[in-house]
Amino acid sequence: MPDVIVNAAAKVGGIMANNTYRTEFILDNLKININILESIIKYPEIRLINLGSSCIYPLDAKNPISEDSLMSGKLEPTNSPYAMAKIAAIEMGNALKVQYGHEIINLMPTNLYGPNDNFDLNNSHVIPGLMRRFHNATTNNDSHIEIWGTGKPLREFLYVDDLANAIEFLINKNWSEELVNIGSGDEVSIKNLAELMKDITDFKGDIKFDPSKPDGNPRKLLNLEKMNSLGWQSSTTLENGLNKTYDWFIKNIA
């Protein structure tokens, strides 16, 4: 019997995947969490780190977004099915904690990226999706690359090894909080992210934005006071993390 379970299982994707496969995103993620949490009901000695997503917070939540913002407003429409499944997992975990005495912490990461990510052109998150597109455009000597939206939204990103380090850090702590944000504390516009990606992949063409496509949430910076107060903070800068990720991509995917 395990002492700790880290529930990192999920069906995930970017704006297009979330908005296209809405039924699959809510059903598959509900099934994952129901199966895992129901299986430990009889074993309250098992500690559970339940990973969620910052998309659980309302569209109009005040930035930096604190854990108290949960269920205080409407969700961002393009990923609301996924968000609802993650919110349900938090409620299930809290129910087990209250009724059966489980020690459960719901850890809500910001946008993650890094080696072993999904670099599919249609169903990936923003960083791996952009990295694949910029790499292809560089290889093909394309004159330009087109990106959804205006480029104005601000996003916070966390390198995956920093999240792994945080989970290891938490395993050795006592958990008093039910819901804890985790991120880098830094944010970047999609436009500036694209410029960074252009430099890293050595793309020589132009970047064009398509404002007819959705931007998603205009800003999503997490309040990290709870996690930082425990003595943890991220250590990988965005530029350093992107370079590490692209090096891995070149060696393993390209």
Distance separating alpha carbons of residues 109 and 53, to the nearest angstrom? 5
Instruction: Name the pairing type of β-strands 144-148 and 206-210.
Output: parallel
Contact by Cβ (8 Å): 122, 167: no
Distance separating alpha carbons of residues 161 and 234, to the nearest angstrom? 9
Q: How far is CA 139 from CA 86, 145, 182, 254, in A?
A: 38, 12, 36, 10
Contact by Cβ (8 Å): 217, 76: yes
Quick count: other Cβ atoms within 10 Å of Cβ 67?
18
82 annotated active-site: yes
Name the catalytic one among 21, 43, 57, 82.
Answer: 82
Question: Smallest Cα–Cα separation from 17: which of 122, 103, 100, 95?
Answer: 122
Question: Smallest Cα–Cα separation from 75: which of 19, 136, 120, 131?
Answer: 19
Type of residue found at 151: G
- DSSP tag of 68: G
Distance separating alpha carbons of residues 27 and 50, to the nearest angstrom? 18
Active site residues: 82
